[in-house]
Amino acid sequence: MQSAPRLTVADQRWVTSRVLSDVFSGRSNSLGFLRWVFATLVVVDHSFPIGGFNGGVDPTWKWSRSQDSLGGIAVGGFFVVSGFLVTRSWFTSRGTLRFLWRRFLRIFPGFWVCLIVTAFLLAPIAWRHERGGLTGVYSVGQDSVWHYISANFWLTMHQYNIAGLFTHTPYGRTGYPAAWDGSLWTLIYEFKCYLFLAVLGLVGLLRYRRVVLGLTAASYALMLSWLIDPAWASKLLPMLSDVYVARFLFLFLLGSTIAFYADSLLIDDRIGILAVLLGLYSLHHGGWLLIGYPCLAYAIVWLAIRLPLQGFERIGDLSYGTYIYAFPLQMLLAEYGLQRHGPAIFVLASIALAGVAALLSWHLVEKHALRLKNARLSLPRRRRPEPVEHLLGELDDPGQDTRQTPDPVPHKLGV
């Protein structure tokens, strides 16, 4: 039986509901814009503690009755998008090693350069401002620039501050530990989700989408169990003592499930609007984890199709660079007292400066690293699993700018 003709975003007509696989175009969607929005929301969230506004607390935290912050919502969106796109990418990767190589290229090169830039460019600027010169910046014993790189090299953040800087900034006075880049802690969770997906594929479980659905349901139950008794999970398995393991895994698998059930998931404006309204209601009145997370996932996919911003990434993918560079740049702005001009100026300057850093990161580091994605690897290729491949629609390859480079097999990656 022939499948229904696939519609592009440009020519689709919304008369009745259609399934995701018919209306989602891997080469033309607004996920790039949404990821940049999520990164920008994190910048806005961090502006409050870094600039010392509103007692150092994002107002969304109070409005949501301590359920989540603006940055927390945005990070949740990142994991949903990542689960959706990285799962699609799995089926274009000719082997587990190739898949992990592509994931490595998407995360590590940009991350490593960010550590180096922070330690050897930004930290000396702050040191000079506080100490009146550069003497001693590279020889300080505790929390040195050298240890900052080695301690954080493999994504897990073991050292946040450098040389005792920033203690006099609003961030240092709000009670938070002084830090250079408070955004990087989520990256290890992201990469572990990649590893988890790779293990599922390696043992053949990604051949069966019901397995992914079952794992999503299990992680959902685990996440909700924290609301009842946070202690029981740590007794079951020590790694589950971290609440973010359950949250981020559920959001990632939620995106994966959407990819696997693309031939069944109805995309409809009425459902999309309802998802947005229900999500906002649960965020304010309660039930954000129970209701809001699934609503967030649906709203993301719906907006990716409906928003007319498919060309947003023509200048480059700014989401990752914005996310990893904004925090240290905001700390520098606070070091020089920009917060005295008010939150609006501070936020706008932070977004603009992070945007410049993101452009440089993409064009000087990330884009070039991703060109190695098809480098020859030694392990044998695996055969693609047939049962689910046709359900995922057009696939995109990690990090490739498909608007400019023709490719017989369309691909795309998310971070």
- Tokens 């629609």: give the residue: 393
User: How high is the pLDDT of residue 386?
Assistant: 46
Give the pLDDT of residue 411: 27
**At 262, is the pLDDT very low, low, confident or very high (cuts 50, 70, 90)?**
very high
The C-alpha atoms of residue 240 and residue 233 are separated, in whole angstroms, by 5
C-alpha 297/C-alpha 351 separation (Å) is: 25
Q: Of 48-57, 328-337, 362-371, 395-404, give the lowest mean pLDDT range.
A: 395-404
Q: How far apart are CA 114 and CA 153, in angstroms?
A: 11
The answer to which of 208-217, 254-263, 304-313, 350-359 has the lowest mean pLDDT is 304-313
Average pLDDT on 64-81 reads: 97
DSSP 3-state of 397: strand
Per-residue pLDDT tens over the stretch 220-254 = 998 998 878 777 766 766 767 788 999 999 999 99
Q: Rounded to 5, what percent of the chain is helix, strand, coil?
A: 65, 0, 35
Whether residue 414 is predicted with pLDDT greater than 60 in this model: the reply is no
Is pLDDT above 60 for 15? no
At 4 the pLDDT is 42
pLDDT over 60 (residue 382): no
Give whichever of 15-24, 158-167, 183-192 has the largest mean pLDDT: 183-192
pLDDT (0 to 100) of residue 321: 98
pTM above 0.75, yes or no: yes
- Tell me the pairing of strands 18-19 and 266-267: antiparallel
The per-residue pLDDT for 167 is 87
Residue % of the chain over a pLDDT of 90: 74
Q: What is the domain partition of the chain in residue ranges?
A: 18-389
Give the rounded percent of residues in the chain with a pLDDT score beyond 70: 86
Report the C-alpha gap between 201 and 384 in whole angstroms: 10
SS3 28: strand
SS3 call for 36: helix
